[in-house]
Structures are given as structure tokens and as C-alpha cells.
Amino acid sequence: MGSSDVPPSSTPPWLTDAANGCLGTGVFFWLVAYVLMVHRAHATRATPLEHLGFMLWLLFDIPVLLVTAKYASASFASQPMVARNVFRIVGLTFVVGAASFAYFAYWWLAEPHRGYGIKWGKTWKELEARDTTELSYWTAGVAQMLFSVGALSMVVQRGHSGGQSYAIWAVDPGG
């Protein structure tokens, strides 16, 4: 349940507080993961992301983006074409990712009750039955899962944990 959702009248009062507490906890762990990624990247002089497709949370991704660009030539030394074109790759990934997310969100919110279940009580910009909580699951949730898979593949491919750490993996699923 999102923080602005209106629960059905049969919902126990504690459930809304619990849902908002879980949402706040998730945001906290998400922020901790990003701080740890930037710290680890500086400590190991390696990029924190192998797959740059998740640079969409721009405000908090700027430090991650900066350390990725700073250490990309060393991290991708075995792939000189990638090392030379990091800014182009990041730029293209950002544009394609932002356009994809915008199109999916537009499609999702275009008609009521899209997704799983009945959406009464969930509003978006005065439109009834638009579930932005489920929308965030299919966008941010899936992106976070792919990020975790990408981080693990980075360790397997490189043979070291530069740019990642167990602390990041421990808090990332919570966010």
C-alpha cells in the first residue's frame, strides 16, 4: 500500500502504519546501499555497476555515475571499446531507460484497474483506480532485482568485488 492510498474500511488501523513503516525502511536501506556503493567504488577504484541500465534514480545516482566514469577505464581495461565510450554508453542507457520507464508508466496509468486486483481507493492525479504502488513494483522492484543479478555477475566476471561489497548486497534488497 502506498502512503497516499485510502484503505478499505475493513482494514485494521495498524496496517496503514505498518505499511508506511515498511516503505520508510525500504527507502532508508536504498539510501544506505547507494552511500556504500560510492564509498566502495572510491576504496577499490572500480565501478559499482557493471550494467549501467539502472541510472534512473538520477538524484542519488549522480555520485554513483561520477565514480563509474572516474574508474571506468581501469574497470574495463580488458574491453577498450567500452572504456573509451563510457559517457556515450551511459548517455544512451539513460535516454533509452527514461523513455522506457515513461512509456510504461503512461501505459499503466492510462486506464483504471490495470494490473492485479481491484484498485478502488487508489488514486493518481484525481483519477480513481490507478495503482502507483503496483506500478513501482513492476518498475523499481524489477530494476532492483536486475541490479542485484548484475552486481553478482560483475563479481563472477571480474573475479573480485571491486565496486561492490557484501554490505551493499545485504542492504540493497531492503531498499
User: pLDDT tens for residues 134-153?
Assistant: 887 788 777 777 777 777 77
Contact 5/133 with Cβ under 8 angstroms?
yes
User: 118 lies in a domain?
Assistant: yes
Convert the pLDDT of each residue in 77-128 to its tens digit. Answer: 888 888 888 888 878 887 888 888 889 888 988 888 887 777 777 777 777 7
User: 45 lies in a domain?
Assistant: yes
Distance CA 124, CA 160 (A): 45
Q: Assign 47 a pLDDT band (cuts: 50, 70, 90).
A: low
User: 8 lies in a domain?
Assistant: no
For residues 47-57, average pLDDT: 48
Tell me how many helices (H) and strands (E) the chain has.
7, 2
| pLDDT of amino acid 53 | 38
Contact 74/44 with Cβ under 8 angstroms?
no
Please compute Rg for the chain using Cα positions: 19
Contact 5/22 with Cβ under 8 angstroms?
no
Residues in contact with 160: Cβ distance below 8 Å, sequence separation at least 6, in sequence order: 44, 46
User: 31 lies in a domain?
Assistant: yes
Strands (E), 86-174: 123-124, 127-128
| pLDDT of amino acid 5 | 64
| Number of separate domains in the chain | 1
User: 2 lies in a domain?
Assistant: no
| pLDDT of amino acid 71 | 79
Distance CA 170, CA 98 (A): 27
User: 1 lies in a domain?
Assistant: no
Distance CA 7, CA 16 (A): 8
Q: What domain range includes position 156? A: 13-174
| pLDDT of amino acid 127 | 79
Q: Assign 55 a pLDDT band (cuts: 50, 70, 90).
A: very low
Task: Check: pTM over 0.75? Answer yes or no.
Answer: no
| pLDDT of amino acid 160 | 67
User: 121 lies in a domain?
Assistant: yes
User: 164 lies in a domain?
Assistant: yes
3-state secondary structure of 87: helix
| pLDDT of amino acid 84 | 87
For 147, counting Cβ atoms within 10 Å of its Cβ (0-12 exposed, 13-18 middle, 19+ buried), the class is: middle
Distance CA 68, CA 86 (A): 9
